[in-house]
Amino acid sequence: MMLVAIAAVAAAVAADQLATGAAGRTGSVAADGVVLVTGATGRTGSLVYNALRNARGPHGVRALVRHRAKARKVLDCTECDEADGVFVGDVTHADDLEAPFAGVASAVILTSSMPYKLANGSWTYPPGGSPREVDWLGQDNQVAAARRAGAQRVVLVSSMGTTQPDSPLDKLGGGYALFYKAQGELSLLSSASALNFTIVKPAGLLDEPGGRRRLLVGRNDELARNRALMTVPRADVAALVVAALDARAPSNLRFDLASDPAGPPTTDLRELLTEARRLW
């Protein structure tokens, strides 16, 4: 219930920004055109998709999902079919990406490999779902599809922690998830001449309401020195992603995102993005 409320707030903010954006300047096509959210049925992806759908209506947002049944459960779509903007596909198959990316102005990449625990306590990844396949090659495929589609802006949610080789997360299931996520960021970074990018690298994700913490931006995992700051609610990540889609928001950014539960809540997300730019 709480998450729904937060998503609604994010949507209201987005709607307000879009309304002024459309009227206020030329070149705000990225804000006005269709946005595709991949990984849309994930816990963060569904928050982003539902906020955008709420703000832009069914013609303003598309979803790429692997299972339509899950889309019907967690997304605010009606038919949840292609006519309703919900596409079924796998990012490791480049052919699956043509239709969902066709004609989009911007894309939010929220796909991620997902480890799971075996009965004996070991962790593993599903066949075809390793970090190498999803976080590197799948990311590459998505950036290539965005470029072919002529998209202007791509927001990628990656992960903090990529400066530490052989981290516990890398070792999980032998997947080297953070190593491959850093590799996946590169295809987007090297497309900077063709599209505007925002790479958000969040700390540990929490399923709790957003809008209550002071959000912190950093670089090179420097925020990780203080363990007390090493989490961030998914709802805050989702709200920042929505803010980053606005054509007036600063872009060509790559930054860590964490939070201080004790700090005053961050209210101006565009200012936070501006601060992320100043870091570099």
Ligand X SMILES: *[C@@H]1O[C@H](CO)[C@@H](O)[C@H](O)[C@H]1NC(C)=O
Burial label for 67, CB within 10 Å (0-12, 13-18, 19+), is exposed
Q: Quick one: which segment of 70-78, 116-124, 180-188, 232-240 binds ligand X (CB under 6 A)? A: 116-124
Q: Are 203 and 231 in contact (CB under 8 A)?
A: yes
**Residue 122 in contact with ligand X, rule: CB under 6 A:** yes
Told to check if 232 binds ligand X by CB under 6 A, we report: no
Stretch that binds ligand X, among 35-43, 59-67, 115-123, 175-183 (CB under 6 A): 115-123
| Cα–Cα distance list, 55 to 11, 16, 65, 99, 133 (Å) | 5, 9, 20, 23, 33
With beta carbons less than 8 A apart as the criterion, state whether 218 and 256 touch.
Answer: yes
174 binding ligand X? (CB under 6 A): no
Q: Identify which of residues 13 and 247 has a Cβ nearer to ligand X in the complex.
A: 247
CB closer to ligand X out of 87 and 176: 176
Rule CB under 6 A: choose which of 86, 108, 239, 247 binds ligand X. 247
Alpha helices in 57-208 (DSSP H): 68-74, 98-101, 131, 139-148, 168-171, 177-189
DSSP 266: P
Quick one: which of 173, 262, 194 has its CA closest to 226? 262
Task: Tell me, residue by residue from 67 to 106, as one string, x for binding to ligand X by CB under 6 A and - for no binding.
Answer: ----------------------------------------
Cβ distance to ligand X smaller for residue 247 or 276: 247
Residue 26 near ligand X by CB under 6 A: no
- Those residues whose C-beta lies under 8 Å from the C-beta of residue 51, and which sit 6 or more positions away, are 7, 8, 10, 11, 14, 238, 239, 242
Chain residue whose CB lies nearest ligand X: 152
Distance CA 238, CA 49 (A): 9
Measured distance CA(149)–CA(21) in Å, rounded: 23
> Residue 139 corresponds to which tokens in the numbers above?
């990311």
Residue 25 or residue 93: which is nearer to ligand X going by CB? 25
List 5, 12, 27, 268, residue binding ligand X (CB under 6 A)? 27
Among 14, 149, 195, 232, binds ligand X (CB under 6 A): 195
Binding mask 130-169 for ligand X (x = CB under 6 A): ----------------------x-----------------
- Residue 38 binds ligand X, judged by CB under 6 A: no
Give me the least distance between CB of 25 and ligand X, in Å please: 9
Among 26, 120, 168, 225, binds ligand X (CB under 6 A): 120
Provide the greatest CA pair distance for the chain.
58
